[in-house]
Amino acid sequence: MKKPFVTKQQVEDIVKDFPTPFYLYDEKGLVDNAKAVYDAFSWNKGFKEYFAVKATPNPVLMEILKSLGCGFDCSSETELMLSQAIGASGADIMFSSNDTPAREYAYADKLGAIINLDDFTHIDFLEETIGKIPETISCRYNPGGVFQMSNGIMDNPGDSKYGMTKDQLFEAYKILRSKGARNFGIHAFLASNTVTNEYYPQLAGQLFELAVELQKETGCKIAFINLSGGVGIPYRPDQEANDIKAIGEGVRRQFENILVPAGMGDVSIFTEMGRFMMGPYGALVTKAIHEKHIYKEYIGVDACAVNLMRPAMYGSYHHITVLGKENEPLDHVYDVTGSLCENNDKFAIDRQLPEIEMGDYLFIHDTGAHGYAMGYNYNGKLKCAELLLKEDGSVQMIRRAETARDYFATFDCLEIADKLNHILESERN
């Protein structure tokens, strides 16, 4: 069974200062995990993990990862700004974007970020935008078809909007070299949330063979190979977690078998993990506030899909622990719901849980990545606070909860803004 990284007593102490719902992140867990990643790839002198900012865009968490050697994988202007704000620049930033506006390329270039081109047509677009082709540049590869491993089809790259075909990739590197690029990278993302130690090594094998062929045919110096993300986490308690040490060793074997004999043993390995780096080390903590007995048994909580949309959007499973009742029998079946005017606003459907009483705290596991980041404001609901459980046991607010003033802020272009501000002041008083 999954074990929460916080106890009922700790949550009861936290809510004295920070009401539910809130996100809580485990500093010790994310630090230990980041160190394990770097240890697993320590055989590669140039290894760098570029944390996928899109997964958990919080500067405090990013600063922790930066202190451990991580860079940042950015896909938008605001993610670039976050990275800049915590002191990242140059080769500490990988800009992997698609359908990219000119101003975002210009901003990435201003920071000296490594730009990863998603499409062949972006070569001319980038040159027109920034007036040059950078000396170090990367291109994203899409092999098409399906990506298959020993346990079956994992994903369908051929149906993906990302990356270049092989022919486009080879032509792109020839053109980029002719325009002044000198150091080249290869990037690919072929499957999402894989819970198997095979994915990275198999992907690495394909990209290493491609790199050898590419360098030989085009004369381009392949400086790095970016395995991107895709290493997942076990959302269900019966799933076996990935072993990052075994994954690193599998990539090393492919490196030694393919790149080293080709005289390419100096190639750096990059990763861009978000889910694996942060997923298990964040939780959504919410309180049971209503129960409903009709055709099914429902527990209503004070969080909703605005706070965590993955179950509503994808039907994703997130394990739930009722704090303080970890050892009680799972003898009740509930739908755990939020308050949105949407029937899919459910954190769990027909879930076996211990009996839930009003006021119980529910710990929704594995929300540290693509949790808060995917929030929205439907029904005028407001996003909750983010908190950090520090290694010394103290708690730090790292993002305050939204207020109605935040929600109305972009109406400041209208006359009604004054009326809204008056209402807000009246409510405050």
Roughly what angle, to the nearest 10 degrees, separates helices 122-130 and 166-178? Answer: 30
Tell me if 93 sits within 8 A of 113, measured CB to CB: yes
| Cα dihedral 109/111/113/115 (nearest 10) | -20
Q: Could you give the C-alpha distances from 205 to 253, 258, 259, 318, in angstroms and in order?
A: 9, 8, 9, 32
374 contact partners, CB below 8 Å, separation of at least 6? 308, 309, 310, 313
3-state secondary structure of 265: coil
Tokens in use for 215?
Answer: 């360098």
Q: Could you give the C-alpha distances from 24 to 160, 190, 216, 362, 368, in angstroms and in order?
A: 33, 31, 49, 12, 8
Q: What share of the chain is helix, strand, coil (3-state, %, to 5)?
A: 35, 25, 40
One of 70, 220, 304, 341 is an active-site residue; which one?
A: 341
Q: Note if 341 is an active site residue.
A: yes
Q: Could you give the C-alpha distances from 111 to 87, 108, 229, 247, 269, in angstroms and in order?
A: 11, 5, 23, 32, 22
- Strand-pair partners of 117: 139
Any idea which residues carry the catalytic annotation? 341
